[in-house]
């Protein structure tokens, strides 16, 4: 049987990794796919570099539009990234009957509904394992491995840059700005790290997982997103003293009245496996009603880990290339006409436990006033830590951990607490998740 022909759009870090792994393991891949998989053409603006990377063994063009319309190409691999030209090229490839493999979580989180619908009408596949958590096969697990389960919640460390920064802040006691510079010098953070440190990258990924887990359209615009830029080293230290570690988590949870979809720094008990995921590694914890908790761990980025996921998709598409489109695994795991209109809940309606840190005057009655406000808001205290004031400095930190409560109640209580004359700075509020 003739090999399946692939057009590769972009041969940067992941593109070159895909080319090299496919070449190195071609015989193993052929045995698994049932036929060869061959990159026939590469599109990249830097054609000289592309020819050097491919060793002159494939066609190289500068215009990606030439690739998505070529009649001999069966699968288009989009590794350009971004929302603009990538969307145009993916839709054009679908229009010309090409299957698509992409690592572009931003594109699918924002335009996924449009792209999946176009692919359904044309009878082609859009595969995107590499879009979430690099080499970890979490999309396949959610779409296929856990298909018997009613997924209850997902919590993931799905951005290696922020996990590296938080690990360094905890280990070395350094502030955010110092560690960010270190991460940039080591190549863990981009020159412009905004998507990573502001939580946007993680939000793209958890949006896709949420849609697959709960059988609903992609709704990135409804996600609540907070990054780690305002996280203080002192809170990491206090969390450690209380038996917790702070991780940037992407969280999505099924509730009777809707779905929670959020990204933010989160206190997790230090005894949990996911709390001990350090450095640039990723991990995703999935709770299903039948299987219980399952944890997926590995490298979330890098040339060959991500290439592993890209090629796994290529193999899947090759196996299903001639299959009846109605009998393939749906893009979002549920049949398109069975997607739910379940609402994504606003952050005010989220239920969580909370870490509250406040700088207060070290005088009689301060704690009583604070606990009174929390009690009036219906917020129960789980634990409390009061630091000793330093000599000659009549102020101290009070840290309170709450039981489960609605976010809107915590916000109202914080406003009242900040109105006290004895509270000397804004209250630091972080969410907590037991993940048990």
Q: Which residues are catalytic?
A: 205
Question: What are the strands of the beta sheet with 37-43, ordered from one edge?
Answer: 59-61, 37-43, 4-9, 75-78, 99-102, 126-127
Q: Are 155 and 250 in contact (CB under 8 A)?
A: yes
Per the DSSP assignment, residues forming a β-bridge with 287 are: 153, 293
Q: Are 279 and 429 in contact (CB under 8 A)?
A: no
Residue 198: name the closest of 229, 155, 168, 174 by CA. 229
Per the DSSP assignment, residues forming a β-bridge with 102 are: 78
Exposure class string for 292-330: b at 16+ Cβ within 10 A, else e: ebeebbbbbbbbbbbbbbbbbbbbbbbebbeeeeeeeeb
Residue 166: name the closest of 156, 153, 175, 158 by CA. 175
Beta carbons within 10 angstroms of residue 81's beta carbon: 18
């Amino acid at each position: 049987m003739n090999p399946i022909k692939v057009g590769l759009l972009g041969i940067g870090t992941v593109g070159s990794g895909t080319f090299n792994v496919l070449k190195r393991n071609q015989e193993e891949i052929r045995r698994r796919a049932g036929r060869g998989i061959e990159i026939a053409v590469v599109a990249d603006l830097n054609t000289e570099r592309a020819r050097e990377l491919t060793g002159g063994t494939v066609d190289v063009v500068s215009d990606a539009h030439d690739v998505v319309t070529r009649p001999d190409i069966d699968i288009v691999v989009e590794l350009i990234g971004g929302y603009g030209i990538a969307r145009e090229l993916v839709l054009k490839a679908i229009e010309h009957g090409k299957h698509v493999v992409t690592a572009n979580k931003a594109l699918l989180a924002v335009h996924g509904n449009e792209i999946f619908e176009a692919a359904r009408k044309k009878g082609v596949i859009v595969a995107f394992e590499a879009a979430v958590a690099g080499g970890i096969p979490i999309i396949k697990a959610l779409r296929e491995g856990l298909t018997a389960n009613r997924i209850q919640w997902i919590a993931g460390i799905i951005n290696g840059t922020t996990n590296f920064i938080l690990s360094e802040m905890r280990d070395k006691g350094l502030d955010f700005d110092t560690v960010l510079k270190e991460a940039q010098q080591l190549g863990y953070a981009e020159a412009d790290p905004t998507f990573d440190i502001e939580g946007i990258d993680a939000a793209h990924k958890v949006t896709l997982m949420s849609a697959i887990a709960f059988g609903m359209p992609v709704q990135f615009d409804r996600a609540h997103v907070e990054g780690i830029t305002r996280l203080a080293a002192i809170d990491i230290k206090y969390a450690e003293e209380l038996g917790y570690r702070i991780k940037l988590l992407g969280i999505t949870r099924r509730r009777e009245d809707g779905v929670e979809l959020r990204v933010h720094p989160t206190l997790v008990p230090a005894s949990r496996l996911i709390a001990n995921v350090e450095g640039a590694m990723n991990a995703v914890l999935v709770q299903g009603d039948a299987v219980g908790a399952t944890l997926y761990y590995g490298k979330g980025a890098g040339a060959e880990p991500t290439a592993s996921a890209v090629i796994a998709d290529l193999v899947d598409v090759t196996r299903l290339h001639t299959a009846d489109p109605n009998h393939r695994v749906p893009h979002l795991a549920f049949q398109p006409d069975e997607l739910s209109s379940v609402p994504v809940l606003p952050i005010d309606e989220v239920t969580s436990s909370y870490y509250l840190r406040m700088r207060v005057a070290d005088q009689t009655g301060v704690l009583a006033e604070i606990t009174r406000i929390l009690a009036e808001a219906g917020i129960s205290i789980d634990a409390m830590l009061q630091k000793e004031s330093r000599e000659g400095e009549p102020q101290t930190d009070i840290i309170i951990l709450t039981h489960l409560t609605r976010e809107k109640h915590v916000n109202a209580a914080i406003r009242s607490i900040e109105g006290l004359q004895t509270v000397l700075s804004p209250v630091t509020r972080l969410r907590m998740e037991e993940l048990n």
